[in-house]
Structure 1
Amino acid sequence: MTRSHIPGILAMAAVVAASNVLVQFLFGDWLTWGAFTYPVAFLVTDVMNRVYGAAAARKVVAAGFITGVICSLIGTRIMLEGDGFTYPAVTLRIALGSGLAFLTAQMLDVAVFSALREGKWWRAPLASTLIGSSVDTAIFFTVAFSVSLAWIEPANDVSWAGDMLPLIGLGPVVPYWVSLAFADWLVKLSLALLALVPFRIIVRSLTKKAT
């Protein structure tokens, strides 16, 4: 690790830590505030990949993963009370889903970006973020809330996530957790497009400083 990598590492750690806090606060019926900060992690990874290379991007991902593990460990030890029950702020399934989704999606992002590095400037960050974000959403919500994976943490009742409701209140009837995942995915796709602007600006700025 060099000094030039430190800002990226700190940025990733800040994004992951902030998202772990903001995910506790609802935004409407299908989202949390964390849904709007977490996608910035892909922007950080892609900027590091473009400017410093895949090895540097992987170091940043590792820093984010370690930060996420620490946040999860803290969250599993914070006990909340509600409806006559005491339960951890972060369940085992959420911790596992979050860690697995982050590491898999971010490493995939690095690989896709590297494969498309020589194309047009927007192709690598857009494709890698869209693919990584989709995988992230699929892994996290499936592991954390799918009723079929209840055996991972039998004591954690997620039957509420299996309630059959219209997709985000409008579409076909699906398990509630699918609506949560779909809404989260739509936010990630939207932010992937918007992130191209800061990606271009930050990369140009860092590239000029390096010359």
Structure 2
Amino acid sequence: MSSAATSAQPDHEVHFASRGSSYYDVLLAVFCVVLVVSNIAATKGTQFFSGDVSLGPVQIIPVFSDGGAVLFPLAYIIGDVISEVYGLRAARRAILVGFGTAIMTFLTFLVVIELPSAEFYENQAAFESVVWSGLQIVAASLIAYVVGQFLNSYVLVRMKARSAEPGLWRRLAGSTGVGEAADTLIFCAIAASAIGISTGGDFLNYFVVGFLFKCAVELLVMPLTMVVIRVLKQREPTYFA
């Protein structure tokens, strides 16, 4: 068989790159920033539509979410890239480092609360309110994040073990569905009261909207995610079986 025919065959071996590279360092740094910023942004509950808006005979129900939804889906996108290119151990390291940075951030806020305020500073009560609600958000986020990210990475890597390099889009979609479902359910269950959600109907709205939104974002950017993964696989100097 010619070398050209051989190279055209699909790659049925499982490959991962070494995590000791500058690309991994950049992904890890962005991953941690996304997690910390999302936790802070999630202290604000958001609502679209007032509940008395109608579109002809159809009543538009309010849509509840939180500020963390703006950026948090990027954490799963980066998690997918790390899991696919660098493997489960590298993904586990990223998850644990992100966990540590989020805890450090809010421990810092707790210390800052206790520092004496300057005479001209008039926002101590507002700062404390955000931080204390943020602690509940962080607790929700960290528990949901650890469970969801580990499931996301585990499912992706296990699917890759079955299909090897082909079938990337199936791995990304399947792992996203499992990880986001667990993450969103756990987060909403713990954080709902911190942003003012108190009824079963509002909670269901919060969960469904959050899950669908996160999955939709990841599916919409999946072509870009696949391009990033392909570029990293081509550029990593130590790509091995």
Give TM-score scaled by structure 1 length. Answer: 0.77
List aligned pairs for 1:188-203, cutoff 5 A.
Answer: 188-203=214-229
- Is 1:97 aligned with 2:152? no
List aligned pairs for 1:57-206, cutoff 5 A.
Answer: 57-75=91-109, 81=125, 87-91=129-133, 92-117=135-160, 118=163, 120-145=167-192, 160-163=196-199, 174-206=200-232
Relative to structure 1, the CA distance from residue 22 to residue 130 in structure 2 (aligned partners, 3 Å threshold; closer, same or farther) is: same
1:70 deviation in Å? 2.2
Relative to structure 1, the CA distance from residue 55 to residue 176 in structure 2 (aligned partners, 3 Å threshold; closer, same or farther) is: same
Measured in 2, the distance between the counterparts of 1:191 and 1:176 equals: 22
1:25 deviation in Å? 4.6
Q: Which runs of 5 or more residues in structure 1 are unaligned?
A: 147-157, 164-173
Q: Which runs of 5 or more residues in structure 2 are unaligned?
A: 1-18, 49-63, 114-123
- Is 1:46 aligned with 2:72? no
Match of residue 171 from structure 1: none
Q: Which has the higher contact order (CA 8 A, sep 6+)?
A: 2
1:78 deviation in Å? 6.5
Measured in 2, the distance between the counterparts of 1:8 and 1:71 equals: 19
1:75 deviation in Å? 4.8
Relative to structure 1, the CA distance from residue 182 to residue 72 in structure 2 (aligned partners, 3 Å threshold; closer, same or farther) is: farther
- SS in structure 1 opposite 2:125? strand
Q: Could you report, residue by residue, the CA deviation over 1:30-85 in whole angstroms, capped at 9, with x for unpaired residues? A: 12332021011111111111111111111111122112222333455676636xxx
Measured in 1, the distance between the counterparts of 2:235 and 2:92 equals: 22
Identity %: 24
Which of structures 1 and 2 has the bigger CA Rg? Answer: 2
Q: Could you report, residue by residue, the CA deviation over 1:125-173 in whole angstroms, capped at 9, with x for unpaired residues? A: 1111111011001001112236xxxxxxxxxxx695224xxxxxxxxxx
Measured in 2, the distance between the counterparts of 1:204 and 1:100 equals: 31
Aligned pairs, number: 187
The answer on whether the counterparts of 2:106 and 2:131 sit within 8 Å (CA) in structure 1 is no
- Is 1:3 aligned with 2:47? no
Measured in 2, the distance between the counterparts of 1:201 and 1:36 equals: 22
The answer on whether the counterparts of 2:45 and 2:196 sit within 8 Å (CA) in structure 1 is no
Relative to structure 1, the CA distance from residue 22 to residue 162 in structure 2 (aligned partners, 3 Å threshold; closer, same or farther) is: closer
Match of residue 170 from structure 1: none
The answer on whether the counterparts of 1:76 and 1:88 sit within 8 Å (CA) in structure 2 is no
1:199 deviation in Å? 1.3
Q: Which amino acid aligns with 2:215?
A: L
Give TM-score scaled by structure 2 length. Answer: 0.68
Relative to structure 1, the CA distance from residue 159 to residue 13 in structure 2 (aligned partners, 3 Å threshold; closer, same or farther) is: closer
Q: Could you report, residue by residue, the CA deviation over 1:88-116 in whole angstroms, capped at 9, with x for unpaired residues? A: 52434323211100001101111100111
Measured in 1, the distance between the counterparts of 2:138 and 2:225 equals: 29
Measured in 2, the distance between the counterparts of 1:57 and 1:7 equals: 14
